[in-house]
Amino acid sequence: MKIGLLGHGTIGGGVDQIIGGIEGMEVKSVVSLEVDDSFRDRHVNGIDDIVNDPEIDTVVEVMGGVEPAFTFVSKAMKAGKNLVTANKALVAAHYEDLIRLSEENGVSFRATASAGGSIPWLVNLSRAKRADTILELAGIMNGTTNFILSKMKNEGADFDETLREAQALGFAEADPSADIDGADIRRKLNISANIAYDVQIPEDSIDTFGIRNVTSQDIRNAAALGRTLKLAGFSGKTEDGIFAYVEPVLLPSEDVMAYIPSNYNLIRYRGAYAGIQSYVGEGAGRYPTAYNVVEDLFDILAGEKHFYTVTAVPAVPDNTAPVHRYYVRTSVITPGLLEMAEDRQDGYVITKPVSVRGMHSFIREQLIRDPAAFIAGIPD
């Protein structure tokens, strides 16, 4: 297998290093904005150099972002080259297009590392649906935010201090917005739900609230309630369709997700026959993610020709279906919040059961009145 590598940053460099020790795989050409001595002799000017090289049969895309990544991989697939990507933004934005390009051009398309880092989550999810019906899936899907929340709980650190440490360790980007605002989890949940339920959900239809506003007081309040604060994604089947959302949650002590440490992820599904199946592993970092990219290359060598599903029925989440209580911390108590309140404490409110759609609509409006407001779901 001769490979064209798009991107030689954190993940790309890891992929290149792992492949260097595997017989039968070779990174022949590299497209990268920055060049160093480790691949200078393999650096090429652009995607056309890879597309026009008949020896290259597979492209690995780890550039990140939607463009020019989509333009590059489209050219490669149309030229008959297999695609492996770790780019969740690309897969979420062009889910149906990438499946179609794979089918039309008879090439493989794999993206296991796009959801779960080192966890072989998408592979096992697709395997599970062969004999089972996936009813729900949920999990901690972002190593950066889990690192932040774990450290805030265990060491009493504040948010800004912990975020800076996550950036220094390479868990968080210089611009951490995708992590702390929940977009990274939303994309992984989007891809996972599409595969689990054979649908295509518009990414922006998934209600999402992150941890940008979390404070050490929120962590202490959660502990006083006997719960642990985590950021997670949730989706499942309803009578009329599916639901899908991302939000902070106050997990009870009996939920194993409450104990997932540092940059680790836990993702799980509930099947009609298999019940709850959970997968745990490092969700961030160079080598954990690069490892799963290389596993996809082995799958292609073994003859895997398709994505994890070839069905993508358009669907929009019905987030009026999931209902639970919420923790709401805000300095502006509105009549609407008082109507929802079940219990009012110093500095926060516990609501009566409210739909996810209703609470996410409320917090979007509340942030205009109180930009520091924060919510977290309280599962039963």
Residues forming the active site: 188
H helices present in 181-271, as ranges: 183-197, 216-224
The neighbouring-strand residues paired with 270 are 136, 276
Helix (H, G, I), strand (E, B) or coil at 249: strand
Measured at the CA of 346, the angle between CA 342 and CA 350, to 5 degrees, comes to: 25
User: Buried b / exposed e across 206-217, counting CB within 10 Å, b at 16+?
Assistant: bbbbbbbbbbee
Token pair recorded at residue 43: 């650096």
Give me the half-sphere count of Cα atoms (radius 13 Å) on the Cβ side of residue 124.
20
Q: Tell me if 343 sits within 8 A of 329, measured CB to CB.
A: no
Place of tokens 């959801």: 115
Rounded to 10 degrees, the C-alpha dihedral 94/97/99/100 comes to 180
Place of tokens 């295509």: 200
Contacts of 271 (CB under 8 A, 6+ apart): 128, 132, 133, 134, 135, 277
